[in-house]
Amino acid sequence: MRIEATDIGRTFGRQTRAYAEYRVFASLARFTDAVREVRVSLAPAATSHMILCSVVVALETGVSVRVTGRGRHAYDAINRVAYRLGPAVRRRAQGAPPPDHDDPAAAAPAGDVRRPIATAGRGD
């Protein structure tokens, strides 16, 4: 997976560029086999005092996924996109990754909620 965020460093600084690369990579790490290339851009919104972050993900299947987010500052916009990116790629990628087996709630089938039975304080 290749992440390209070159224009961010010139406009917002190297630290902001590094943060954008880190957050996008962390959001897409579980999809490394499905993602070919990622382009991240960050710019002031034309009509407001907001910052617009846009990420375009090119999948190995040839499908592109675009996610955008606005924020009061650059880090806010990056965080909004990073939060939306994983679910958007999961919906578009063939063969989504299996659920996290470390989390029993994620591994349980829908409608099958298993809770431990509390026996403390019942006086049995």
Contact 65, 88 (CB under 8 A): yes
Is 113 part of a structural domain of the chain? no
Residues 6+ apart with CB under 8 A from 116: none
Tell me the pLDDT tens digit for each residue of 81-91.
999 999 889 88
Q: Is 118 inside a domain boundary?
A: no
**Residue 86 is inside which H or E element, if any?**
helix 74-92
| Domains contained in the chain, number | 1
Q: How confident is the model at residue 97 (pLDDT cuts 50, 70, 90)?
A: very low
Rg of the chain over Cα atoms, rounded to whole angstroms, equals 19
Residue 114 lies in a domain: no
The predicted structure's pLDDT at residue 32? 87
With vertex at residue 50, the alpha carbon angle to CA 13 and CA 4, rounded to the nearest 5 degrees, is 40
How many residues does this entry show for the chain?
124
Residue 15 within any structural domain of the chain: yes
Residue 111 belongs to a domain: no
Is 32 within the bounds of a domain? yes
* Distance linking the first and last C-alpha atoms of the chain: 58
| In a domain? residue 112 | no
- Asked whether residue 72 carries a pLDDT value surpassing 50, the answer given is yes
- For the domain that residue 73 is a member of, what is the CATH number? 3.30.160.100
Domain that holds residue 69: 2-104
In a domain, 37, yes or no: yes
